[in-house]
Amino acid sequence: MNSKFIIAVDAMGGENSPKKIIDGIINFSKNKNDIFFKIFGNKKIIEKNLSSSLKKESFQIIHTEDFVKDEDSALMGAKNKKTSMWLAVESVKNKESDIIISAGNTGALFVIAKLNLEMIEKIEKPALSGLWPNKNGMNVVLDLGANIECSEKNLIDFSIMGTSLFKALFPNEEPKVALLNIGSEASKGNEIIKNTYNKLSSSSKNINFKGYVEGNNIMSGDVNVIVTDGFTGNIALKTAEGTSNFITTELKKILTSNFMGKLSTFINMQNFKLFRDKLDPRKYNGAILIGLKSPVVKSHGSTDSIGFSNSLSVCEKILKGKLIEKIKENID
């Protein structure tokens, strides 16, 4: 077990847990021999959902009947040190696991993580980063809501961490950094944005800075590491999610409302599957809280086992891509 990466899993968080969590682990674990799972939660319920396809030597269940409820406030969820979420984070703190993943209460997870895990030196604030599709592949976008207000230093740190994360996840691609702004001209934006632009433009740090990107060009593929404050980033994320859901829902209504629509759908079935797959949020599941000395991954609470399996893949790439080491190297 010493040669394996160890993922601490909060099995009790999110909708339809622990079933979707265990199913996600089973799906992800096919043909995997270098990952070990420490699964935290109610042992009796977890064992009911286990399958013989999950090798006994690939996991350990750490029993607790306490868990953080979705409706708990962040502080309320962090008060109980016997919950599956707390124990999973604590195992990373104690170097018993390499990374923590949870589909549970987001606020509680971040508070518990900050209470237990130290910040990387020279970084003032952690950032919530996520994956976002573009025409050429994938974006890393941060911050998505961890910090409402950010200083110039915070945004520069986010640029460094975003670059490091992109390299860890996509080692064969070149990270290209841009600041999310209301225009592409150097004179646009507030003072913090403009000052950050000037500092990144003249920086000797290992950042491939491309300037500004506007909201309508996030998916163009011209840049792939998009940096902003948590207030703007969260609004952009929720807008994109809502727009994607609106498009797929309305398109489905139109294409199934009459005979000609259904016939057209049947004829173009393969193309529609490709379109649906491109917008499937399960493919991009797994937000990463970076800036701490140990990585924390947040799976969407409403995702299914496939989405959770994809977030486990994010965990694997972070560990094998040596994300924390890359951040430390670049921040220095």
Q: DSSP readout, 273-326? A: HHHHHHT-GGGG--EEEESBSS-EEE--TT--HHHHHHHHHHHHHHHHTTHHHH
Q: Quick check: is 59 in a domain?
A: yes
| Residue found under tokens 């970084």 | 123
What CATH number did the domain enclosing 301 receive? Answer: 3.40.718.10
Average pLDDT for the chain: 89
Higher pLDDT, 247 or 29: 29
Q: What is the gyration radius of the CA atoms in the chain, in angstroms?
A: 21
Q: Out of 2-11, 30-39, 188-197, 279-288, which region has the weakest mean confidence (pLDDT)?
A: 279-288
Q: Quick check: is 330 in a domain?
A: no
Whether residues 52 and 65 share a domain: the answer is yes
Above 60 in pLDDT, residue 2?
Answer: no
Largest CA distance in the chain: 63
* pLDDT at residue 241, rounded to an integer: 79
Q: Encoding tokens for residue 94?
A: 């104690």
Above 80 in pLDDT, residue 296?
Answer: yes
Q: What is the mean pLDDT of residues 270-274?
A: 67
* pLDDT at residue 1, rounded to an integer: 45
* pLDDT at residue 283, rounded to an integer: 78
Percent over 90 (pLDDT), the chain = 67
Q: Report which residue type is found at 46.
A: I
Q: What is the mean pLDDT of residues 269-292?
A: 75
Whether residues 283 and 135 share a domain: the answer is yes
Q: What is the pLDDT of residues 125-157, one digit of tens each?
A: 999 999 988 999 899 999 998 899 999 999 999
Whether residues 169 and 231 share a domain: the answer is yes
Q: Out of 41-45, 220-224, 271-275, which region has the weakest mean confidence (pLDDT)?
A: 271-275
Whether residues 72 and 186 share a domain: the answer is no
Q: What is the mean pLDDT of residues 90-112?
A: 95
* pLDDT at residue 187, rounded to an integer: 83
Whether residues 258 and 309 share a domain: the answer is no
Whether residues 154 and 168 share a domain: the answer is yes
Whether residues 75 and 50 share a domain: the answer is yes
Above 60 in pLDDT, residue 168?
Answer: yes
Above 80 in pLDDT, residue 6?
Answer: yes
* pLDDT at residue 230, rounded to an integer: 93
Whether residues 75 and 100 share a domain: the answer is yes
Q: What is the pLDDT of residues 42-96, one digit of tens each?
A: 999 999 999 888 888 999 999 999 999 999 999 999 999 999 999 999 999 999 9
pLDDT band for position 271 (50/70/90)?
low
Whether residues 132 and 240 share a domain: the answer is yes
Q: Quick check: is 331 in a domain?
A: no
Q: Quick check: is 265 in a domain?
A: yes
Q: What is the DSSP letter of 247?
A: H
pLDDT band for position 31 (50/70/90)?
confident
Using an 8 Å Cβ cutoff, are 123 and 157 in contact?
yes
Instruction: Domain of residue 190: give its range.
Output: 124-290
Q: Quick check: is 12 in a domain?
A: yes
Q: How many helices (H) and strands (E) does the chain have?
A: 12, 11
Above 60 in pLDDT, residue 178?
Answer: yes
Q: Quick check: is 245 in a domain?
A: yes
Q: What is the dihedral sign for C-alpha 11, 74, 232, 302?
A: positive
Q: What is the mean pLDDT of residues 233-242?
A: 87
Whether residues 102 and 137 share a domain: the answer is no
Whether residues 296 and 285 share a domain: the answer is no
Total domain count for the chain? 2
Q: Quick check: is 71 in a domain?
A: yes
CA distance 139 to 131: 6
Q: What is the mean pLDDT of residues 208-217?
A: 93
* pLDDT at residue 69, rounded to an integer: 94
CA distance 118 to 289: 13
Distance between first and last Cα of the chain: 32
Using an 8 Å Cβ cutoff, are 163 and 175 in contact?
yes
Q: Quick check: is 327 in a domain?
A: no
CA distance 128 to 154: 12
The values of phi and psi at residue 57, to 5°, are: -80, 0
Whether residues 279 and 132 share a domain: the answer is yes
